[in-house]
Amino acid sequence: MDNIYDIINNRSSCRNFTDEEIPDEVLQRILDAACKAPSGGGFQAYSIIKIKNQETKKSLAMLCRGQKFIEKAPVCLVFCIDYRRIKRINEVVPSPCDLTNNFMNFWMSVIDTAICAQTMCLAAEVEGLKSVFIANIINTLDIVSDLLRLPEYVCPSIMVVLGHPKNKSALSKKYNTRVTVHDEYYKDMDIDELLIEYEKKYEDWNMKPTENIVDKIYETCCKLQGKEFAEEFKDYVIKNNKVSPYEFWMGYYYLQQEGFLDLDGYIKYMKKQGFNWIG
């Protein structure tokens, strides 16, 4: 499969890997491709931490909501924003460079790490490998940084788990360009049309409102939007006999857990790593 459109159209996230190792030369080709991705100013203000050590993978799995497939895959790759390399060069080659005090630079570097990671994932598809993006590492940036011995001016951005698929993953449905592309300026789609597209995207979703799920989402609603909204939610879900994707993911799964950084924690971490734009 060497046509780029075939690769894009058939790529799916994999969470079930074999224990087959990735040959060093194959992994090197994939990483070479990743490092050819475009970046802001051409600075390549990122580093990639390649992890094969079983204990380290096990720790990462535990930090990422206990997702066991992370430790079973042959390699994990943590993409990091990296201003340390630039700063070290500028100690020898002077430059009026103050990247860590500018939020725009940080934002651009988040984008650069994502472009680099996606380029790598497409290259992996050519090699017959599968991947999945793991954003959960940002919940515990401080612990991940200690685990990977990240020095000042380096910050994790996203992780990719890579390996040989154990079985074929189902393709997830995506909104088409009719929903996501706007001509010349932003235009709201008619809500009835938007709901039709939403139902198409999630037509295979069929989660029933168990007592445990409803109670947990109700609790989340109370915290975020008050009891009146929570009661409306509960009535709506029971009446429709279905929990929507947004209700489940935002109200049940992606919640603050013990050990996750809160806003104060993120601010403290960023300052510790030398990113002073945060104030």
pLDDT in tens, 8-40: 999 999 999 998 999 999 999 999 999 999 999
- Per residue in 199-229, pLDDT (tens digit) is 999 999 999 999 999 999 999 999 999 999 9
Q: Residue 94: what pLDDT?
A: 87
pLDDT mean over 237-248: 94
Q: In which residue ranges of the chain is CATH 3.40.109.10 found? A: 4-170
Q: In whole numbers, what is the pLDDT of the chain averaged over residues? A: 94
Assess whether pLDDT exceeds 70 at residue 2. no
CA distance 1 to 4: 8
Convert the pLDDT of each residue in 146-184 to its tens digit: 999 999 999 999 999 999 999 888 899 999 999 999 999
Q: Where are the alpha helices (DSSP H) in the chain?
A: 4-10, 24-34, 54-63, 69-72, 84-92, 103-126, 141-147, 177-180, 191-201, 211-240, 245-248, 263-272
CB 16 within 8 Å of CB 45: no
End-to-end CA distance of the chain: 49
pLDDT at 271 over 90: yes
The model's confidence at residue 252, banded by pLDDT at 50, 70 and 90, is very high
Instruction: Measure the CA–CA gap between 260 and 269, rounded to whole angstroms.
Output: 12
Mean pLDDT of 232-243: 94
**pLDDT the model gives residue 123:** 96
Contact predicate 74/17, CB 8 Å: yes
CATH number of 4-170: 3.40.109.10
pLDDT at 1: 47
Given the DSSP bridges, would you call strands 154-163 and 75-82 parallel, antiparallel or unpaired?
Answer: antiparallel
**pLDDT reading at 193 higher than 80:** yes
Residue 131 phi/psi, 5° resolution? Answer: -150, 170
pTM of the model: 0.93
Q: How confident is the model at residue 98 (pLDDT cuts 50, 70, 90)?
A: confident
Contacts of residue 11, defined as CB under 8 A and 6 or more positions apart, other chains included, come to 121, 122, 125
